[in-house]
């Protein structure tokens, strides 16, 4: 069974921790235990992606969206969306300017990650966490 939940949070530093806890709580509700490596990885990845929105998102944007999807095989998809433009440095996975460690962490933990354009409505950065096999 595939389960998905999305929620919006204010673009504020306190929202990073809230995003992390809400993702953990949704995964727990769906049967993922607290010691499940996918839960730990999901919490770290949503924290990094939400931090990027809070630090680098559009100045006039008041909210961002987080989505967590638990896939039938136990894998997990994390998505963080904002109203920002798709920057050329994010168009090709793995090629970006050095601004910090966030996307390096995402690249090293996620099985795959990337950026989807939402047309005139911003972008979504996603990360896939495979089930522990």
CA 91 → CA 74, 85, 94, 116, 126, distances in Å?
28, 11, 9, 9, 13
Query: What percentage of the chain exceeds 70 in pLDDT?
Result: 86
Question: According to the model, what pLDDT value does residue 99 have?
Answer: 54
Q: Pick the residue with more confidence: 59 or 32?
A: 32
| 119 φ/ψ sector (left φ>0, alpha ψ -120 to 50, else beta) | left
- How many C-alpha atoms does 110 have within 13 Å on its Cβ side? 26
- The mean of the pLDDT values for the chain is 85
Q: Provide the pLDDT confidence category of residue 63 given band limits of 50, 70 and 90.
A: very high
User: What is the pLDDT at residue 93?
Assistant: 46
Residue closest to 82 by CA, chosen among 101, 62, 97: 62
Residue 13 forms beta bridges with which residues? none
Whether 55 shows a pLDDT value over 80: the answer reads yes
Residue 107 has pLDDT above 80, yes or no: yes
């Amino acid at each position: 069974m595939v389960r998905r939940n999305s929620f919006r949070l204010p673009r504020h530093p306190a929202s990073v921790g809230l995003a992390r806890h809400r993702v953990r709580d949704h995964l727990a509700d769906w049967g993922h235990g607290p010691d499940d490596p996918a839960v730990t990885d999901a919490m770290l990845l949503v924290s990094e992606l939400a931090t990027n929105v809070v630090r680098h998102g559009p100045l006039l944007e008041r909210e961002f969206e987080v989505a967590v999807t638990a896939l039938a095989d136990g894998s997990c998809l994390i998505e963080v969306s904002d109203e920002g433009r798709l920057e050329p440095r994010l168009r090709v996975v793995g090629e970006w300017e050095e601004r910090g460690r966030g996307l390096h962490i995402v690249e090293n933990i996620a099985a795959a990650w990337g950026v989807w354009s939402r047309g005139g409505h911003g972008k979504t950065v996603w990360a896939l966490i495979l089930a522990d096999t």
